[in-house]
Chains A and B, each alone.
Chain A
Amino acid sequence: MGVPAVETHDLERVYRSGRSTVAALAGVTMGVERGEFVAVMGPSGSGKSTLLNIIAGLERPSAGVLRVDGEDLAALDEAALARHRARRVGMVFQAFNLLPRYRVVENVALPLAFAGVEPAARHAKARALLERLGMAARAEHRTNELSGGELQRAAVARALVADPAILLADEPTGNLDSASGATLIGIFEELNAHGQTVLLVTHDAQIAAHAGRIVRMRDGRIAD
């Protein structure tokens, strides 16, 4: 077996506010193998989104070890962490987080733009992904012309455009109707079937059931 996609040891994240401290992660040790589809489940405040954000390089852990695709994130400076976000992980948010003033194809190509890929190449890649996700007809549209399901598919395309080692999704169906949610999960399954590692955070057991493995969290720890 090769290098795991994600590997954590005693990962901690403590938030301080004045004198009080809140441990969002209180020693998380877990791993995600390449090609796995893992769902992290837990109630609100269990630390699942914090775990995902730390793996995504959006925030730093207070203590512990985190390796993504073999790279120790603690050793990375801000610029290297930005490269990690651009190339090693792809993130899908509940709120889509697309830029409304850009066309869909430009939104999808954005990580490649920040990675220094020239426009023709990055737009070709973005169009290919949009086609794969059934969004080819929407490539030139603005985001305000898209439905919730389409927005989230565009967001998935953006997360995949740089061929990340792992696709991270934080409650991706949270803002979608059940039909769109089901389509999205179908896409995740199909991507995983083609070898894409997926780490999904959800509080919805029905969504989590589509994953190959479920990790439950409670009070900042792995519950099982």
Chain B
Amino acid sequence: MRWADLFAMSLGNYGRARLRSVLTTAGVAIGTALVVLLIALATGAEDNVRRSVFSIGDLRLVTVQPFQPGANGLSAVPRTITDEVVAQLRRIGHVESVFRQFDAPLGMIVEGGDDATIRPQGIEPNAPVDRGDLLAGRHLALGDRAVAVVPGNIARLIAPNVASAIGRRVTMRIGGAVKLGSTRIGGSGTPRDYGVTVIGVFDEQASGTSVRIPLDDALAAGADNRGLTPDAIKQSTGYSGIAIEADDSTNVADIVRGVQELGFSSFSLKQVIEQIDQGFGVFRGILAGIGGVALLVAAIGIANTMVMSVLERTREIGIMKAVGASPRDIRTLFLAEAAYVGAFGGIVGVALGIVGGQVIERIIRNLNPRTNPGPIFVVGPDLILGAFALAVVVALVAGFLPARRAMRMSALSALRYE
């Protein structure tokens, strides 16, 4: 029999017991809609988390920490990042650039008063931490000394607004007691004052206490605080951290491996994202499983409908066989009927899932306008096609046994069936 005839005949059969077909299709539609909704929710959540992580920084970045690999929290075993280590880091394959950082002891901007506690970060020009987040002024440049790039909140403590803070000469007191929140802490060493000129103000969302100063200034302040020379402090304390930029984010894993082989701990957003992906893969699987249960119930409904249909149409099957329908024709007729249930249910279910997601999203946003601006439900073409294909496959599987039963029916027994 021609495929076109088979499908036309099956479509006629689908439309014959209309109410039953509609109810069975509704079951598939609900199951499919649930699968779409739940996977879209998981994808939306993953996208939101990924977007948040992306906003933190560059995926090409690997931060080297002065600890042994695998260290975390209190169990961290310190390692010193000396200039020799930095040279070794530069030699790791796919490393594009290396930026040293030295954190001087805590201190304060005297003009800002008690609330202007700072963490002076000694960095090199164009360091990843000092890029693209300026509210006013400029970033650190090569050859700068006795300058600072401060967060917006500190700038507003020392000047009426961030723009007018630029060019202000302020006193940075490093070491000694500082106030962190409502707590006063002893701090380290004897406090010393350094005059610096504010050259830039960055958005305090990144950090409200970090003050970016030239690396050499930070090393000098750290050395003063401990009564050492800058060279000695590089050897004894070492750098606080190194930011490595890979030539491409796909090579981050190689660099991380290289860093660990040198005996240092590292951190990269790329790895965080990979872990997020893994975690969300499981999450999505669980949600898809919940939707799958609904689809399974729908499949049982299809199987039941098809069994009833085969039983009711036994005589018709007999007639068709008597006039030349092959077993394959009969099986295909019933499978195609099941496929129609799956296809129509799939189309309606996908549409329901998309519309349902939008309605739920609108309700959530109305109830809580501060909800993350990214979409809560994300439905991509792969989800649409996947959910539709799943509905058809589930329907075909459910229809297989009834179709086989119809196929195997004896023509003569079927003709005699009352």
| Residues of A bordering B, CB below 8 Å | 53, 56, 58-59, 78-79, 82-83, 85-87, 91, 93, 97-99, 101, 110-111, 113-116, 118-119, 158, 162
Contacts and interface: CB of A to CB of B under 8 A. Distances in A.
14 contacts: A58-B321, A58-B412, A78-B326, A78-B327, A79-B328, A85-B324, A91-B322, A97-B318, A97-B319, A97-B322, A98-B319, A114-B329, A115-B1, A115-B324
B322 A58 contact: yes
A87 B324 contact: yes
Given A99-B319, A101-B12, A114-B1, A53 B324 contact: no
Given A97-B322, A119-B5, 9 more contacts: A78-B326, A82-B327, A85-B323, A86-B323, A86-B324, A97-B415, A113-B5, A114-B320, A114-B324
A113 B1 contact: yes
B410 A59 contact: yes
A82 B324 contact: yes
Interface of B: 1-2, 5, 9, 12, 16, 315-316, 318-329, 410-412, 415
B337 to A, nearest CB: 14
A26 B64 CA distance: 95
Contact of A85 (B316, B322, B328): B322
Contacts of A162: 324
B316 A99 contact: yes
Contacts of A87: 324
A86 B324 CA distance: 4
Contacts of B326: 78-79, 82-83, 114
A85 B320 CA distance: 10
B99 to A, nearest CB: 74
Nearest to A158: B323
Interface centre among A83, A91, A113 (most CB of B within 10 A): A113
B334 to A, nearest CB: 15
Contacts of B318: 97
Nearest to A57: B411
Contacts of B323: 85-86, 91, 110-111, 114, 158
B16 A101 contact: yes
B325 A82 contact: yes
B413 to A, nearest CB: 9
A86 B2 CA distance: 14
B329 A82 contact: yes
Given A82-B325, A83-B324, A86-B323, A58 B5 contact: no
B327 A79 contact: yes
A58 B319 contact: no
A111 B324 contact: yes
Contacts of A113: 1-2, 5, 9
A59 B321 CA distance: 11
Contacts of A115: 1, 324
Contacts of B12: 101
B312 to A, nearest CB: 12
A46 to B, nearest CB: 18
B284 to A, nearest CB: 45
A59 B411 CA distance: 8
B325 A114 contact: yes
A7 B346 CA distance: 54
Nearest 9 Cβ contacts at the A-B interface: A86-B324, A82-B326, A114-B324, A111-B323, A58-B412, A111-B324, A85-B324, A97-B319, A79-B326
